[in-house]
Amino acid sequence: MLSFLTTAKAQNIPLTGKALFENKCAKCHGTDGAKGRWGAKNLQISQLNNDELFKTISTGRGIMPNWGKKLSALQIRSVIEYIKTLRKY
């Protein structure tokens, strides 16, 4: 774990879910999760569970990139936890 954190810092990879979301996801989903650019889903009303979110983020959907090749499982989980804070239901 320590080597991952050291490597991530050296490569300027954001470590928090919020920072990752803002860096990788907000351009389509918006900072509040509701933007919907290029068909991106409104994350404020998403009812996907953690496993479904993990699969979607990891493998992509439609024009959404496959983030599983660029983000670690830990980073994806931190994005999922942040996404859940955006929900409005």
Give the tens place of pLDDT for each residue, 27-86.
999 999 998 888 899 999 999 999 999 999 999 999 999 999 999 999 999 999 999 999
> Which whole-number Å values give the CA distances from 59 to 42, 69, 70, in the listed order?
18, 8, 11
Give the tens place of pLDDT for each residue, 11-23.
566 579 999 999 9
The total number of structural domains in the chain stands at: 1
Query: Residue 15: what pLDDT?
Result: 75
Contacts of 43 (CB under 8 A, 6+ apart): 29, 33, 34, 83, 86, 87
pTM reported for the whole predicted model: 0.81
| 89, pLDDT greater than 90 | no
Q: CATH code at 34? A: 1.10.760.10
- Find the helix or strand (DSSP H, E) in which 19 lies: helix 17-24
Q: Domain for residue 47, yes or no?
A: yes
Amino acid in position 31: T
Q: Which domain holds residue 65?
A: 15-86
